[in-house]
């Protein structure tokens, strides 16, 4: 039979209230008493009834993390950063993968409505809704990360995507490329909007025309990168861009793989630069030059911002912006000579 708090109190020679205080707020208990209680806990292999404690305190010590697509390699390191930072403060997490399925938004709303979480981290770029109810109406701290959500009381933890996309163009132009194309997501996608705008900014900065900017539309996935490669290969060699800036590493990697299989050399004939910095980019052939987002730091910063909200800190409502880093590998080089 599992030990009870009364067994610990009896063995340590203290009240059950002192045992409870030792476990929940050890700094408020005298060191010698704390030592006696913890020795009794260890001897009896006592495990606190967390569910009952949460019921009394009104806290679950759990955070909901909402992702747009868990299969996207970018989010693995982000979630690791979230988990590490929350664990430092005694919080666990539940991960919900929306994957563009409406019913999963309903699941998010049910979790929050049932009181299963204390706060929410949104990496999905939109406020979940179900049955006329929005996540925002429950009064929990909510932080948006990875994609901006303009909602009162919801701070954003973002990467400077627009200038990073402009930097992609400057890199290719600096190598000598003058025909530069872009692998995009769907129009209106919350990440594509700033990244496409940054690509156009970059073209304008280096004096290349923006009105006929070549855009291959996808959805940030490997499959859409392969489709864009097919569209590229269907163009006449004289019209193809010699430089490709991609809105995601997954699209860039699949694009490179498909055109190389068709006999187009990378980077000798076409240079490709990605965006994200997923681990696979370092191991594909050739290694992918990319604008690396600080994946784990994004997760850490988002978790810290949510913890501020859970603590009622006044700085909770302030946005956080992180920078990117150009990582040079083998997929970019000067264009072929005419």
Of the chain, the percentage scoring pLDDT greater than 70 comes to 95
Per-residue pLDDT tens digits for 146-181: 999 999 899 999 999 999 999 999 999 999 999 999
Look up the CATH architecture of domain 5-56: Orthogonal Bundle (1.10)
- Residues of each domain in the chain carrying CATH 3.40.50.2300: 60-159+295-323, 161-294
Nearest to 40 by CA among 18, 13, 8, 10: 8
Class of domain 161-294: alpha beta
Query: Is the pLDDT confidence value at 54 over 60?
Result: no
Q: How confident is the model at residue 29 (pLDDT cuts 50, 70, 90)?
A: confident
State pLDDT tens for residues 275-308.
999 999 999 999 999 999 999 999 999 999 999 9
Q: Domain 60-159+295-323: state its class.
A: alpha beta
DSSP bridge partners of 95: 65
Closest residue by Cα to residue 317 from 72, 153, 119, 112: 153
pLDDT tens digits for 94-147?
999 988 777 788 889 888 888 889 999 999 888 988 877 889 888 899 999 999
Three-class HEC string of the chain: CCCCHHHHHHHHCCCHHHHHHHHHCHHHCCHHHHHHHHHHHHHHCCCCCHHHHHHHHCCCCEEEEEECCCCCCHHHHHHHHHHHHHHHCCCEEEEEECCCCHHHHHHHHHHHHCCCCCEEEECCCCCCEECCEEHHHHCCCEEEECCCCCCCCCCEEEECHHHHHHHHHHHHHHHCCCCEEEEECCCCCCCHHHHHHHHHHHHHHCCCCCCCCEEEECCCCHHHHHHHHHHHHHCCCCCCCCEEEECCHHHHHHHHHHHHHCCCCCCCCCEEEEEECCHHHHCCCCCCEEEECCHHHHHHHHHHHHHHHHHCCHHHHCCEEECCEEECCCCCCCCCCC
Sequence-ordered list of residues with C-beta below 8 angstroms from that of 270, at least 6 positions apart, any chain: 240, 241, 242, 243, 244, 259, 264
Q: Is pLDDT of 338 > 60?
A: no
11-33 mean pLDDT:
81
Question: How high is the pLDDT of residue 25?
Answer: 67
What local confidence, expressed as pLDDT, does residue 103 receive? 79
For 228-281, the pLDDT digits (tens) are: 999 999 999 999 999 999 999 999 999 999 999 999 999 999 999 999 999 999
pTM above 0.85, yes or no: no
Instruction: Write the burial class of residue 152 (CB in 10 Å: 0-12 exposed, 13-18 middle, 19+ buried).
Output: exposed
Is 229 in contact with 260 (CB distance < 8 Å)? no
Rounded to whole angstroms, how far apart are CA atoms 210 and 202? 9
């Amino acid at each position: 039979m599992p030990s009870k708090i009364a067994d610990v109190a009896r063995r340590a020679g203290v009240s059950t209230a002192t045992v409870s205080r030792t476990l929940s707020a050890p700094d408020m208990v005298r060191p010698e008493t704390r030592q006696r209680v913890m020795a009794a806990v260890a001897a009896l292999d006592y495990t606190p009834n967390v569910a009952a404690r949460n019921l009394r305190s009104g806290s679950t010590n759990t955070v909901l993390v909402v992702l747009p697509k868990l299969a996207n390699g970018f989010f693995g390191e982000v979630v690791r950063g979230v988990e590490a930072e929350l664990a430092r403060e005694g919080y666990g997490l539940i991960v919900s993968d929306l994957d563009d399925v409406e019913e999963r938004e309903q699941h998010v709303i049910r979790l929050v409505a049932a009181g299963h979480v204390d706060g929410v981290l949104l990496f999905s770029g939109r406020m979940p809704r179900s049955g006329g109810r929005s996540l925002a109406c429950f009064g929990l701290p909510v932080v948006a990360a990875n994609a901006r959500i303009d909602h009162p009381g919801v701070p954003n933890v973002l990467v400077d995507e627009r200038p990073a996309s402009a930097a992609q163009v400057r890199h290719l132009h600096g190598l000598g490329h003058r025909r530069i194309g872009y692998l995009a997501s769907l129009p209106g996608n919350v990440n594509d909007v700033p990244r496409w705008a940054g690509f156009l900014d970059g073209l304008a900065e280096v004096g290349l025309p923006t009105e006929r900017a070549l855009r291959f539309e996808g959805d940030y996935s490997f499959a859409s990168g392969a489709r864009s490669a097919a569209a590229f290969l269907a163009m006449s060699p004289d019209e193809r861009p010699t430089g490709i800036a991609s809105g995601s590493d997954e699209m860039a990697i699949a694009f490179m793989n498909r055109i190389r299989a068709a006999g187009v050399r990378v980077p000798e004939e076409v240079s490709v630069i990605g965006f994200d910095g997923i681990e696979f980019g370092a191991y594909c052939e050739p290694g992918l030059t990319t604008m690396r987002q600080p994946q784990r730091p994004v997760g850490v910063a988002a978790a810290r911002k949510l913890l501020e909200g859970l603590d009622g800190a006044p700085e909770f409502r302030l946005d956080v912006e992180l920078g990117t880093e150009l990582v040079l590998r083998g997929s970019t080089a000067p264009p072929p000579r005419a």
